[in-house]
Structure 1
Amino acid sequence: MYCKNEISIVNIALFILAFTIDPVVAKNPSFCDFRDFDKSEPKAIFNSTRATNRTHLMWASDVDRWEHDSKIDKVQHILQNLHDYNLSLVWEKAGILVPYYNPIHKNECRGASEFGPIGAFVKDFNSPILTPNDGEKAATAYVRKKNGSQTDENNSPRKPENNTDSSDEKARVTGTEIIASYEKEDGTISTSNLYFFATYYFNDETVTISSTSGDQGETIAFSPNSFGIEIEHAISIFEEHDVLIDVFEGNKLLKEGNSFDSRFFQRYSEDTYLKVKFTHDTEGFYFENVKKEKFAKTPIIFYSPKGRILMAKTVSLADFN
């Protein structure tokens, strides 16, 4: 069933409006201004890696209350390449892939965010960044808290509030925003914004998905099964509204890039993915009779108009189980 007026807990219309962002955002110097990165407590963490003859980069991580919903935290990660050589990487604990065939150029920035309930993110001092040609680089990141992780539990930036009403306690959220650039056929650089936001309503066993993949032909791929949505049901809904581009098995992700990229996707290669095209005019989608699945996290994959992976970001499904 198509979602129009059913959603009351999360204002989908407000969310879409909030992320109708000018596609030159990643070219704006303020996006790379790491000292202006922090908006509120806790303090953002950022640093540069040691420069070598192969890599030199800046990284940053921060968590703030999301300005559009006071019951949601937003973790933001930013990367900037300071070297003459292009930069590909995997920031595993932050859940970020910058693929081998769409690297970050010198002085360019890329960003990826994740949404979750208040108190779900903690500072992890051991969050290395892996590069394909220069090994690991030490970094720190705000990551999703889980049992047994090497996180500093005393540095949890926020505590869950106890004054939420009963209806809000029955809804759980996850999602991401990705800012990535790519070279177009005419040689110019285009910078696009993707967001993906999912809400699970425990009482009704329903999931809403709201997303945009850009207005220049960019697409997004994700696994409906990870969110408890039957593949056939998702295909039917997306075909009805003419947004479905492709259906493929996860092992295809192991072949689209090189061996560096495939290691990022290895654990997700048994899922079935839908590639969809959501513009800023696309409304949210509403799925009924969803099942509780046991996935810990799942990748959201951003594609260029030519079908090349721009970036990927994993999101936590801990609250969907």
Structure 2
Amino acid sequence: MKEKIEAIKAAVRDQINKTEALQDVQDIRVKYLGKKGELTAVMKELGKLSKEERPAVGQLVNTARAKIEAALADRMEELKQHEMEQKIQSEKIDITLPGRKPVLGHMHPLHLTRRCMENAFLKMGFSIAEGPEIEDDYYNFQCLNFPDDHPARDMQDSMYITDKILLRTHTSPMQARTLQAHNPNEPVKVIVPGKVYRWDYDATHSPVFHQMEGLIVDKGIRFSDLKGMLEDFLREIFGPKTKVRFRASFFPFTEPSAEVDISCVMCGGKGCRVCSHTGWLEILGCGMVHPNVLRLNGYDPDKVSGFAFGMGVERIAMLKYGIDDLRLFYEDDMRFLNQF
């Protein structure tokens, strides 16, 4: 029995010296000290010994077990330390190397376009006004010369929340809100950028899109003022060689009204697929503020006059950057957005 215990101790020492991983040490523990281990088996044979031999052999087994556990614990600690040193070396950082620059974001093309448009108007003395996107029918239609049965209401596919509350279909309600908030004897000169909502979705329409409204009301405002201001604006956005033309049109809140075209930004007015070979691209609508709109909002059309205009920010951006599908602005495709 004594020889067997010594043989186990020697075998354990030899195997511990050959271990290279924590699992190897654990395997030795199970092999010799586990429930079915070799030293445990020796312990179970003590009952076969005489009363005189049993204490001495039991003492040898306990001593051997303690030494084996201590040797295993020491080797386990050595291997843990070795693994830690290897991990430190593998994860070592050379602080002399240049750092990794964080990826910086940038402005969305619609925000770039909106800011460019705002800056152009701010230089002309306009101020910026903003209003609610959930609007009352009173401001969205009635104050802008849209009675309940007006056919122009059919031109706009509106998103109603209740019979009288809707998501605004244009930024024009801010014309009424701005006029009613001002003293009729004081001039008004504002632009109104913001989101609007309609039931449209295709390559050139979105149910959510952006408009920029403009309004001037004062004494002696003429259509020629509107024409000159819009020509200056469009040439600043699209370049000094841009040609501008006005075509008679209809809007309920302006009279007379006009559609404004610019020479095609793709072909320079020569005619191409983008402009349907006409050389012109429709860009915005405008006109002199309708006398009824002035009256509905507390102004006397015999004393003051004004003009208003409105345009889509997406439309400007598509022409400015040569984009052929409006939906690209809203799909969050980084391959598209990283170009700006």
Normalised TM-score (structure 2): 0.29
State the structure with more CA Rg. Answer: 2
Normalised TM-score (structure 1): 0.30
Q: Is the helix fraction higher in 1 or 2?
A: 2
Instruction: Identify the structure with bigger relative contact order (alpha carbons < 8 Å, sequence gap 6+).
Output: 1
Q: Is the strand fraction higher in 1 or 2?
A: 1
